[in-house]
C-alpha cells in the first residue's frame, strides 16, 4: 500500500504543470491621480517618475495545479480587472478559493505587479500574499499585506503601512509615517516628519530621523540614533540603545521590561535625568546634581545644569549613560 501510494504521488507530480499569464496595460494619467491595487496574492512594486504622464501596469501570474486545465480554469475564473475612472486607475485580482483535500498541498499561486506612475500620485495597495515596495512617490501612500514585507523609499507624503507577516523598512521618507508589523522588525533610516512604529515580533531601529519618534515592540530591542525630535520608545522584550544628539533636541522617554538601557550623549549634553531600574544599577559618566536620596536603583537630577527630560526605566537590567 505504501509503495502504491508513493507511485501515485510520483505520477501525479510528474503530470502536474504550471500555466503563466502576462498582461500589460497603459492608462493616460496626470499628477494628483490615484492608484488602487487589490490582489489576493503576489508581489506589488510601484515606482514613480516625475515627468511621467501615464500609469503602466505589468502583471504576471503563475498558477500550479494538477493539470493545465485546472490552471487555465483558475485564470479564467479569477481574471485581472483593469479599470480607469477619471484620474484613478484600479487593478483587482481577487482570489476565489478552490480546495481539494488530496491536492491542496500542490496548489501554488505566484504573481508580480510592477507599476509605474507619475511622480505626484496617491497610492493604495493591498495583497494577501506578497511583499510591497513603493519608491519615489509624492502623495498619500497606504499599503497592507498579510504575508510579506513592506519597503518605502523616498516617499514625500503620508505613509500608512501594515503587514501581518514580515519586516518593514522606510528610507528617506518625508511626512506623517505610521508603520506596523505583527511578525517582523522595523527599520527607518533618514527622513523627516513624524514617525509611529509598532511591532509584536521584532526589533525596531531608527537612525537620523528629523522629527518626533514614537515606537513600541513586544518582542525585540530598540535602537535610536541621532533623532532630531522627541523620542518615546517601549519594549517588552529587549534592551535599548540610544545615541542622542547635542544639544538634545527634545524630551526622551525610553522603557523596557526585558533588558538594559544604554544612552550615549555628548560630554556637554544638558538634561534632566530620571533613571530607574528594578533589576540592576544606574551608572552615569557625566557630572550629575542629584535630587533627593542617592539610590543604586534610581537616580533623578540635572546634568550640566539641566534641559530636556530624559527618562530611562527598566524592569530587567542596568542603566548606563555614556559619553561619546
Average pLDDT of span 205-217: 99
Please state the rounded mean pLDDT for residues 106-117.
92
φ, ψ of residue 12 in degrees (nearest 5): -65, -45
Q: Is the pLDDT of residue 232 over 60?
A: yes
Give pLDDT, residue 242: 99
Across residues 194-200, what is the average pLDDT? 97
pLDDT digits (tens, 9 = 90+) for 21-51: 999 999 999 999 999 999 999 999 999 999 9
> For residue 70, which of 37, 107, 42, 43 has the smallest C-alpha distance?
107
Tell me the whole-structure pTM to 2 decimals: 0.91
Q: Which three cell numbers stand for residue 215?
A: 515606537
Report the C-alpha gap between 225 and 231 in whole angstroms. Answer: 10
User: CA-CA distance, 286 to 117, in Å (whole number)?
Assistant: 52
Q: For 296, phi and psi rounded to 5 degrees?
A: -70, -35
CA distances from 194 to 160, 191, 263 (A): 12, 9, 22
Amino acid at each position: 500500500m505504501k509503495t502504491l501510494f508513493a507511485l501515485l504521488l510520483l505520477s501525479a507530480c510528474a503530470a502536474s504543470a504550471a500555466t503563466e499569464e502576462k498582461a500589460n496595460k497603459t492608462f493616460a494619467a496626470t499628477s494628483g491621480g490615484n492608484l488602487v491595487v487589490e490582489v489576493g496574492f503576489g508581489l506589488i512594486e510601484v515606482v514613480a517618475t516625475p515627468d511621467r504622464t501615464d500609469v503602466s501596469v505589468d502583471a504576471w501570474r503563475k498558477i500550479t495545479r494538477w493539470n493545465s486545465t485546472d490552471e487555465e480554469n483558475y485564470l479564467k475564473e479569477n481574471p485581472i480587472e483593469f479599470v480607469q475612472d477619471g484620474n484613478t486607475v484600479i487593478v483587482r485580482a481577487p482570489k476565489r478559493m478552490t480546495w481539494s483535500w488530496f491536492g491542496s498541498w500542490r496548489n501554488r499561486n505566484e504573481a508580480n505587479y510592477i507599476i509605474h506612475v507619475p511622480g505626484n500620485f496617491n497610492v493604495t495597495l493591498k495583497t494577501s500574499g506578497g511583499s510591497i515596495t513603493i519608491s519615489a512617490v509624492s502623495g498619500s501612500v497606504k499599503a497592507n499585506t498579510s504575508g510579506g514585507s513592506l519597503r518605502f523609499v523616498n516617499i514625500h507624503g503620508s505613509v500608512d503601512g501594515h503587514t501581518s507577516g514580515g519586516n518593514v523598512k522606510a528610507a528617506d521618507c518625508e511626512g506623517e509615517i505610521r508603520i506596523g508589523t505583527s511578525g517582523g522588525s522595523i527599520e527607518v533610516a533618514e527622513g523627516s516628519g513624524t514617525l509611529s512604529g509598532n511591532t509584536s515580533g521584532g526589533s525596531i531601529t531608527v537612525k537620523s530621523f528629523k522629527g518626533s519618534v514614537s515606537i513600541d515592540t513586544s518582542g525585540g530591542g530598540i535602537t535610536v540614533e541621532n533623532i532630531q525630535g522627541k523620542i518615546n520608545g517601549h519594549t517588552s522584550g529587549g534592551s535599548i540603545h540610544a545615541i542622542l544628539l547635542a544639544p538634545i533636541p527634545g524630551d526622551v522617554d525610553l522603557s523596557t521590561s526585558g533588558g538594559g538601557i544604554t544612552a550615549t550623549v555628548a560630554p556637554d549634553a544638558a538634561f534632566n535625568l530620571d533613571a530607574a531600574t528594578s533589576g540592576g544599577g544606574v551608572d552615569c559618566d557625566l557630572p550629575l546634581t542629584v535630587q533627593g536620596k542617592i539610590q543604586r536603583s534610581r537616580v533623578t537630577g540635572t546634568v550640566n545644569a539641566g534641559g530636556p527630560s530624559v527618562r530611562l526605566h527598566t524592569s530587567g537590567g542596568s542603566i548606563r549613560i555614556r559619553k561619546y
